[in-house]
Amino acid sequence: MRFYEYEAREIVKRAGIPVTDYGFTADAGEAGQIAERIGGSTVIKSQVLTGGRMKAGGVKFADTPGEAEAHAADILKLEINGHAARGVLVDPRAQVKQEYYAGVVWDGTAKKPLILFSDMGGIDIEQVAEEHPDHVGRAHVPTLLPVSDFHAKQAIAGAGVTGRQMQRLIPIVSRLAQLFQTDDMTLAEINPLAELEDGSFVALDAHMEMEKEAEGRQRELLRALGIADDEERDGHEPSTFESAVSAIDAADHRGVIQGKDTGFHGDLGLVIGAGGGSLTLTDAVQSVGGSPANYSEIGGNPSVAKACGLAKAVLQKDGVEKIAVMMSIVSNTRVDIVARGVIKACIELGKDPAETISVFRIPGAWEEEGFKILRRYGVEHFDRSVSMHEAAQRAVDKIQGTTAP
In the structure, what pLDDT confidence band is assigned to residue 237 with cuts at 50, 70 and 90?
low
Q: Looking at the domain 240-400, which fold is it?
A: Rossmann fold (3.40.50)
In the structure, what pLDDT confidence band is assigned to residue 276 with cuts at 50, 70 and 90?
confident
Report which secondary-structure segment, H or E, holds 324: strand 322-327
Tell me how far apart the alpha carbons of residues 324 and 197 are, in angstroms, rounded to a whole number: 57
According to the model, what pLDDT value does residue 234 have? 66
Q: Is the pLDDT of residue 296 over 80?
A: yes
| Cβ–Cβ under 8 Å, residues 311 and 275 | no
Q: What's the CATH code, domain 96-224?
A: 3.30.470.20
| Cβ–Cβ under 8 Å, residues 94 and 196 | yes
Domain assignments of the chain as residue spans, ordered by start = 21-92, 96-224, 240-400
Tell me how far apart the alpha carbons of residues 322 and 355 are, in angstroms, rounded to a whole number: 8
CB half-sphere exposure, 47, CA atoms < 13 A: 21
Provide the mean pLDDT of the chain. Answer: 94
Q: Is the pLDDT of residue 404 over 70?
A: no
According to the model, what pLDDT value does residue 236 have? 65
| Cβ–Cβ under 8 Å, residues 326 and 388 | yes
In the structure, what pLDDT confidence band is assigned to residue 384 with cuts at 50, 70 and 90?
very high
| Residue 114, beta-bridge partner list | 105, 140
According to the model, what pLDDT value does residue 226 have? 93
| Cβ–Cβ under 8 Å, residues 288 and 246 | no
- The percent of residues in the chain predicted with pLDDT above 70, rounded, is 97
**Residue 120: partners with Cβ closer than 8 Å, 6 or more residues away:** 99, 100, 101, 128, 132, 135
Tell me how far apart the alpha carbons of residues 148 and 113 are, in angstroms, rounded to a whole number: 13
| Cβ–Cβ under 8 Å, residues 202 and 19 | yes
In the structure, what pLDDT confidence band is assigned to residue 231 with cuts at 50, 70 and 90?
confident
Q: What is the mean pLDDT of residues 223-230?
A: 91
- pLDDT 10s digits, 129-141: 999 999 999 999 9
Supply the DSSP string of 41-61, one letter for each residue. -EEEEE--SSS-HHHHT-EEE
The CATH H-level (homologous superfamily) assignment of domain 21-92 is ATP-grasp fold, A domain (3.30.1490.20)
Among residues 237, 316, 242, 261, the alpha carbon closest in space to that of 52 is found at: 237
Q: What is the mean pLDDT of residues 156-177?
A: 96
Query: CA-CA distances (angstroms) from residue 330 to 144, 271, 336, 366?
Result: 42, 14, 11, 9
According to the model, what pLDDT value does residue 47 have? 95
Q: What is the mean pLDDT of residues 65-86?
A: 91
Among residues 404, 254, 259, the alpha carbon closest in space to that of 323 is found at: 259
In the structure, what pLDDT confidence band is assigned to residue 232 with cuts at 50, 70 and 90?
confident
Three-state DSSP at 25 gives strand
According to the model, what pLDDT value does residue 274 have? 64
| Residue 259, beta-bridge partner list | 296
Amino acid at 265: H
| Residue 306, beta-bridge partner list | none
Tell me how far apart the alpha carbons of residues 244 and 237 are, in angstroms, rounded to a whole number: 13
CB half-sphere exposure, 118, CA atoms < 13 A: 25
According to the model, what pLDDT value does residue 261 have? 87
